[in-house]
Structure 1
Amino acid sequence: MTDLRRFFGHLIKWPMRLLVSSKVIPEQIQESLDIDLAKPIFYVLRHDSLADILTLQKVCKEQSLPDPLDPVVIQGKSFRRYICLDKLPSILSNQTAATQAEPQVLDLLALHKSQADLDCQLVPAFFAWGRGPGKASNEGEKIFNDKRKPNTFRKTLIVLFSGRHNLVQFSQPVSIRQVADNYGFDKSVAHKLLRVARFHFQRQHLAIAGPRLWQREQLINSLLASDALKKAIEDEAKTKNINISEARETARQYLDEMAADYREGMVRIGEKFLTWIWNKLYHGINVSNAETVRKLAHDGNEIVYVPCHRSHMDYLLLTYVIYQQGLVPPHIAAGINLNFWPVGIMFRRGGAFFMRRSFRGNKLYSAAFREYLAQLLSKGYSIKYYPESGRSRTGRLLKPKTGMVAMTVQSALRGLDRNITFVPVYIGYEHVMEVSTYMQELSGQAKKKESFWQVLGILRKLRNFGQGFVNFGQPIHLTQVLNEQVPEWREDIHPTIPQKPTWFPNFVNDISQQIMCNINSASALNSVTLTSMSLLAAPNHSLFRDDLESQLSLCVDLLREAAPFSNLTLPPTDNSAKLLAEAIAMDKFQVEENQGHNDIISLSDDNAVLLTYYRNNIIHLYILPSLVASCLLNQNKVTKADLNQQIARLLPLMSTEYFLQISDEQLQTHLTHVLNKLAQHKLVKLDGDNIYPVAHAKEPYLQLHLLSLYVQETLQRYAIVLATVEQGLGRIELERQALTHAKQLAQMHSIKGPEFVDKSILSQFVMQLREAGILVTDKDSNLMPGEDFIPLRDTIYELIDGDVLHTIKHPI
């Protein structure tokens, strides 16, 4: 740094502290990027900007990284620690002078050639001053939004207006030793390395800010001029016997109703407001696997976020988390019910586009929406929609509605250049503010229409919501899956006409199922879900404190490093006593304190119903361990071969219901893991191929018994249907009687979960049995037992408690 520049640096250092506030990605640079402080570190910057360098200096000090203004001394020779790719243009000219980047890299390569043990690290640091993408056709905003290579005057204005909205993103260090060993030491290597760095920064800018935005009216006009929509308008005019201009105006109204109006200013305001909200409501927002998504965006993937839907908070929380992770906020598919004043305006300017609940019978609306979605994808905007469509009222994943997924696949069949990648997202909470409303709706009350007054009512009830969890699951690359399942899919590409080839329906169903499985595989365990699950299984919903702590410890250990749940996250604490204390602090559980004795933790009858919601968030993770415990307690001794056979008989049915995807190899690995964990907790004894449950003097089989009860309600539902089948009824009557029987059983045995008497779940199970050939249809269209019916029935009957089984078998 020249003396003059150093002088200016000292001059503006203090004003910069007031003007600039930086968010750093990742938050813990050394740990996240494996930067080795023992090796020489050089920072690579996009621009030779004093503002960038001083901001980098501040960030490095906070992160305990070397100061960029301190030279690096190697063999007595001093090197500048930062490497800038480009100089900024001067105020009077748009021409830029060359930087010293290439000579610097050449000098470093020469040092590595002469010193075999030297390994310097190049650490890219990208600066985003404000994150607005700019308008595609608005030259008036260029002075503020054209930040890629602003002149000195523009840079000054950018720091003044966007300094409090600065983002600094560090990337994986590049080893010059590896570069030199693989590619050599000459000038062409240095030139290529710098070209790759420029491309890297361009990709980062696109991932952070997104592509330039079209003016909303310009986008609508572009959509109306598309061949697909012009044809739909012509068909509408013919069908309804109106002129083209009227049909076109109808299409324009549809597009105006649905189209987003993204404004960075609204996003900035929203970020400040939501930061205040989250700090008020939550003790913390736990985010996992975000680095995977950043890499997808950096690699140029067209990202489609497909989260589960628990609460209205999901809209805000996921977008907020994505933005906080240094990624451009997605355009969000929202139900038209949320388009009410003033929330609809704010959502629209935050990137929401609105859709009607049903497109049925309105071909023009379908065509307009499909074309709008295709335009978003083709222009590079990430999008977000909920495959379940609506919020889950029971806490379990709902069967996916495949309409949006189908339209996404159809966009790929238009020849889209960018690879579409689905990113499943699990969203979980220790408190969902709508749970009591969900229970009312499940009991028969009408759903209340969303309104401004309803929002105000919610805001008045804001309180401690515990912790929130956002886990990004295993991505699904659409092109890769198409190549694997439909190698000839490119033959069906058409640039304008929506395609539905013969393979299309099954493919959409399969990939929708895969999305839901990947969401469930990325679940998050937390204090409330684990405590709810354990107490709901306990007699009278009560346990001594030490027994409950032991059960929580077992539940966490059963899923520690357990395949196939590679993206699952464990609770923030490993201490079961602390975990229980966190749950109790949520004011959902009753504590009966006994002087000098063990406290009793319990659920009231009202809370027991509400807490089935939280149990259902994670119940799918314990289906297999619970089945293992059930088999062991039922038989006192079981061989591994018999256990495998029983699990294999039940797993296909439960996998579909609970969105589990487990290969045979993963199943064996998971069963081995579960048995080893049970043995570590001294609940089973492994003796060669034999497995024995272990009784403890204190309380025989308590933990194993509680674990076995997690799957009981599922087995009981299955048993009700199988018992009803033997009456030889048609499908509709079979489902009606099974539902009646389920309600009777729930009443007699105090089964609290509303999903137990959910008609759709019973209907889906009947459909599964038919598809698997376990049920067959006779000449009178009645459902009758198939070939594998009796082995399945007997296996399920054996695992159900005797008094409950008696009720199930008893005639209605």
Structure 2
Amino acid sequence: MGAPPRSSGNDAAAAARSQSKPPSDDQLPSIERETDVLTKQLGDLGSSRREDRRLAGQTGILTSEEHKLGDLNVVAAYKAHFRESPFEFLQQFVAYGQGTGWRGYSNYIGAPILYKGCSEESIRAVLNSEQVQERIRKLASSRVDHLLPEQPPLSPTGPNKTQKNLAIFKERKKRQIEQQLRDEALAILQVSVARIDSLSFLKFFAASVNNVLARMYHQGIHISVSQVLELRRVAAFAAERKQSILFLPCHKSHIDYLTVSWLMFRLGIALPHIIAGENLDLPVLGDVLRKGGAFFIRRTFSGDQLYPAVIKEYVETLLASGKNLECFIEGTRSRTGKLLPPKLGILKYVVEGLLNGRTDDVWICPVSLQYDSVIESETYVSELLGKPKEAESLLGLLSGSSSLLQLKMGRIDIRFDTPWSLQGFIKEQKDRRAAPGFKDEKVELDPVNNERHRVLLLKALGYRVLADINKVSVVMPAALIGTVVLTLRGRGVSRSELIRRVDWLRMAIINKGFTVADFGAMKTGEVVDRALSTVMKGLIAEEKDVMEPTFVPVKRFELSFYRNQVIHIFVSESLAAAALYTKVKQGGTAPMQRMTRKDLLSECLFISSVLRSEFVFGVDTLEVNVDRTIDGMVADGILEKHADIKPEEGGSIELSAKERENGRENYDSFLFLIWPFIEGYWLAAVSLLSLIPQGAEAQGYPTQKLPWFAAKDFEKHTQLLGKTLYAQGELSYLESINAATLSQAFTRMEEMGMILRKKSSHQKPVPIMALHPSFWPSQTAKLTDYIDRLSQFRREGKDRREQNVGVKVRKYTAMYIPAAVEVSNIKQRQAQL
């Protein structure tokens, strides 16, 4: 669809976008030579048998008919179980130990790693850097001045003995504090720095990860060989220039760390240094991950002036030496199945390193990791339903390891966007924002000297990476099935209908230019049956004693994880369908359900604005995106346009006769994708009624006190309200109460000025929130208008026909009156804002 009006600029700006593309083909190594090298690299799929070594030509490295690069399961011939092939199983580990073929990892592409003293060299470089030393000197001076404030001016005759002794003492104390800070910086580095020093350990590590992944994901680890070829070519280009590749994967599971590192080893590319949260720095495991490339950082740097300087310098030191990095763009694992908004902390350090001249360029490589099933799925559900996240522990991670190895969790698909230039991206953004047609905020972008401009640049970079991840992502069979099951009316679906709808969804995705996992020689029915009996077992049940095999979703919340892996493809269609639904739900004859283009644009603008933080939108204006979407839905036979009906308002749009005859199945599918998010945002808005202070209804806009409430407690209350409304039929989707959606909804409401958030002034500050006074009282203020407007987009059910906030909902919001943890003066707060 598109966020509220946003422009991509004129043709000059569009032309500038080419600057962030990969290097031109004539700058890269010969594609013929690299194809030959890669074919040899991937030709040995891990088996000692000669016939297996020839498997590459049969599984997609080179498709014999067209001589084009295809897809490949890189563990197709790997023997993952000792009992099945004991001799070959052991031979595989021996081959790793001996460094046979690619396992030797002797000709990897990239800056040197894996030599004795590699990590200590980085520690010394960071510790002795001018940036860290300057920060130490300033902190030491500040602390000395705090301990020993400046004395009165010296007398004309000069300092007396006491003053001389004090000056000497201050200088000695300063040097003492500087040494303490150097020791502290060294301690930070000793804990944080990656230890990719040992090739023998890395081969053992790679062999172990290979076995674990191949056993858990029995259908293999699939890559696009053409993407890998381009990745290796750009990697060679960057290595020649001592430039880094920054891998930016999405984050679905803790397995991501292992998967990307193992694949880099498998492909012969220098392992990246991986930014990881310190929660994974566990005894034993932390050391193993460090030796595999992880470096651990705190979740927050607040309150510590030395720590961020040390970490920033370490990142810039890695960039200066051309070493690869890896950072999860979302910052944390997505528990909902779709991408989270980008976290910009490490990106900020990378961009500043480039702007400060520590490197000539950095190559950005968005990475998509898709799993048929993730090992944390049950944990994700409990966390999203409000259970506190348990701290990681070695015992917790290992407790289910033996059973996990026995699971059949389907397949992993890994896709790489061709790396593009960060330097080119920055220039592109400068040109684009200076273009005459740019409508957001025309500025002469100066990210070096202007902090606000740097934030604009970082946000654009973050969302560009998310868009590229979505672009190369593969839709898995489980996602197809989960989406179909949750986007059909009725309790269940017959096997034949399920297969038919999976085929329809698969083609709809392909027609939109996205990728579906290759079914190979299997028919759709076989793929469906296999998924239902393995990765989706327990999520979808087969009804017994019926005339035709019929499947019913039994764990809708868990299935929403799979549905959300598809929504980015159809978000424009879903928002347009929801906008039209505000008219369709009113009923009546077909002509009565028509909507003018003007009204449709207005409804799309509103719902896109509400959900703008949930999805990655295109850079074109809302109007351009809506028109393009409607044209596509007309071409697909879902909608009809009538230019001659109300032409002064842009014509009219309605459901096509064909779509009505088909029971609105395609149109409704788009609605079912978006409704859970609309419900979640409606729930968050309704919950704000509880924050209206008592007496505000009668007093109108108050002028005295603004009560603040504990944010975490209020989010728990909102979930409790949602569970109650769901149980009583006022809420259609249990997944709408998930903590991630509600948290994002409150963040968006803060951006819209509906709520205020800050840290409390207590000794141990906690997040607190308040409803902006302009949104109370509830009967007349903007809050109720917002809720009523949002209600128009909600699914109409037999138990809920009210279009506004009903009596039952108001009763429950009035039952909970949170205790204020802090009170501030409204006029003072307005002055601060």
Q: TM-score, normalised by structure 2?
A: 0.65
| CA distance in structure 1 between the partners assigned to 2:316 and 2:258 by the alignment | 24
Cα distance, 1:668–1:584 mapped onto 2, change above 3 Å: same
1:806 alignment partner AA: E
Structure 2 residue 540 is the aligned partner of structure 1 residue 557: no
Q: Counterpart in 1 of 2:18?
A: none
Q: How many residues align?
A: 621
Q: 1:443-500, CA deviations, whole angstroms, 9 ceiling, x for partnerless residues? A: 443433323322322312221111112222475532223223347999876xxxxx77
Q: Counterpart in 2 of 1:676?
A: 635
| CA distance in structure 2 between the partners assigned to 1:61 and 1:701 by the alignment | 50
Q: Counterpart in 1 of 2:796?
A: 801
Please say if residues 249 and 327 of structure 2, whose CA atoms lie closer than 8 Å, have aligned partners that are also in contact: yes
Q: Counterpart in 2 of 1:572?
A: 518
| CA distance in structure 2 between the partners assigned to 1:439 and 1:358 by the alignment | 25
Structure 2 residue 743 is the aligned partner of structure 1 residue 760: yes
Structure 2 residue 320 is the aligned partner of structure 1 residue 378: yes
1:623 alignment partner AA: V
Q: Counterpart in 2 of 1:165?
A: 102
Please say if residues 111 and 322 of structure 2, whose CA atoms lie closer than 8 Å, have aligned partners that are also in contact: no
Please say if residues 677 and 736 of structure 2, whose CA atoms lie closer than 8 Å, have aligned partners that are also in contact: no
Q: 1:33-91, CA deviations, whole angstroms, 9 ceiling, x for partnerless residues? A: 997xxxxx99999xxxxxxxxxxx999988789xxxxxxxxxxxxxxxxxxxxxxxxxx
| CA distance in structure 2 between the partners assigned to 1:791 and 1:539 by the alignment | 28
| CA distance in structure 2 between the partners assigned to 1:460 and 1:579 by the alignment | 27
Structure 2 matches for 1:195-234, cutoff 5 A? 207=109, 210=112, 215-234=118-137
Cα distance, 1:475–1:687 mapped onto 2, change above 3 Å: farther
1:287 alignment partner AA: I
| CA distance in structure 1 between the partners assigned to 2:211 and 2:532 by the alignment | 25
Please say if residues 776 and 783 of structure 2, whose CA atoms lie closer than 8 Å, have aligned partners that are also in contact: no
Q: Counterpart in 2 of 1:625?
A: 573
Please say if residues 731 and 783 of structure 1, whose CA atoms lie closer than 8 Å, have aligned partners that are also in contact: no
Q: 1:405-435, CA deviations, whole angstroms, 9 ceiling, x for partnerless residues? A: 1111121122133312322222221111111
Q: Counterpart in 1 of 2:479?
A: 529
Please say if residues 424 and 472 of structure 1, whose CA atoms lie closer than 8 Å, have aligned partners that are also in contact: yes
Greater Cα shift, 584-593 or 688-697: 688-697
C-alpha displacement at 1:383, in angstroms?
A: 0.4
Q: Counterpart in 2 of 1:598?
A: 548
3-state DSSP of counterpart to 1:711: helix
Which residue of 539, 563, 570 maps to 1:615? 563
C-alpha displacement at 1:619, in angstroms?
A: 2.7
1:268 alignment partner AA: K
Q: 1:105-155, CA deviations, whole angstroms, 9 ceiling, x for partnerless residues? A: xxxxxxxxxxxxxxxx9xxxxxxxxxxxxxxxxxxxxxxxxxxxxxxxxxx
Q: TM-score, normalised by structure 1?
A: 0.66
In the alignment, structure 2 segments of 5+ residues that lack a partner are: 1-29, 38-49, 59-66, 68-94, 145-175, 432-442, 644-651, 693-705, 756-770, 812-833
Which residue of 618, 622, 638 maps to 1:661? 618
Greater Cα shift, 572-581 or 543-552: 572-581
Which residue of 328, 345, 358 maps to 2:287? 345
In the alignment, structure 1 segments of 5+ residues that lack a partner are: 1-32, 36-40, 46-56, 66-120, 122-157, 169-203, 494-498
3-state DSSP of counterpart to 2:253: coil
Structure 2 residue 265 is the aligned partner of structure 1 residue 302: no
Query: Higher RCO, 1 or 2 (CA under 8 Å, sep at least 6)?
Result: 2
Q: Counterpart in 2 of 1:651?
A: 608
Cα distance, 1:716–1:379 mapped onto 2, change above 3 Å: same
2:479 alignment partner AA: T
Cα distance, 1:517–1:656 mapped onto 2, change above 3 Å: farther
Structure 2 matches for 1:118-267, cutoff 5 A? 162-165=99-102, 207=109, 210=112, 215-241=118-144, 242-262=176-196, 263-267=198-202
3-state DSSP of counterpart to 1:417: coil
Which residue of 403, 422, 433 maps to 2:375? 433
C-alpha displacement at 1:596, in angstroms?
A: 8.2
Q: Counterpart in 1 of 2:157?
A: none
| CA distance in structure 2 between the partners assigned to 1:437 and 1:60 by the alignment | 40
Structure 2 residue 673 is the aligned partner of structure 1 residue 714: no
C-alpha displacement at 1:378, in angstroms?
A: 0.9
Cα distance, 1:236–1:277 mapped onto 2, change above 3 Å: same
| CA distance in structure 2 between the partners assigned to 1:327 and 1:345 by the alignment | 22
Q: 1:496-530, CA deviations, whole angstroms, 9 ceiling, x for partnerless residues? A: xxx77442233323322333333334332112223
| CA distance in structure 2 between the partners assigned to 1:358 and 1:42 by the alignment | 43
| CA distance in structure 2 between the partners assigned to 1:340 and 1:222 by the alignment | 26
C-alpha displacement at 1:284, in angstroms?
A: 1.9
Which residue of 700, 711, 719 maps to 2:663? 700
Q: Counterpart in 2 of 1:286?
A: 222
Cα distance, 1:446–1:502 mapped onto 2, change above 3 Å: closer
Q: Counterpart in 1 of 2:467?
A: 517
Structure 2 matches for 1:765-804, cutoff 5 A? 765-770=748-753, 794=789, 797=792, 800-801=795-796, 803-804=799-800
Please say if residues 775 and 781 of structure 2, whose CA atoms lie closer than 8 Å, have aligned partners that are also in contact: no
C-alpha displacement at 1:371, in angstroms?
A: 0.7
3-state DSSP of counterpart to 1:503: helix
Please say if residues 279 and 391 of structure 2, whose CA atoms lie closer than 8 Å, have aligned partners that are also in contact: yes
Greater Cα shift, 795-804 or 344-353: 795-804
1:763 alignment partner AA: F
Please say if residues 650 and 792 of structure 1, whose CA atoms lie closer than 8 Å, have aligned partners that are also in contact: no
3-state DSSP of counterpart to 2:611: helix
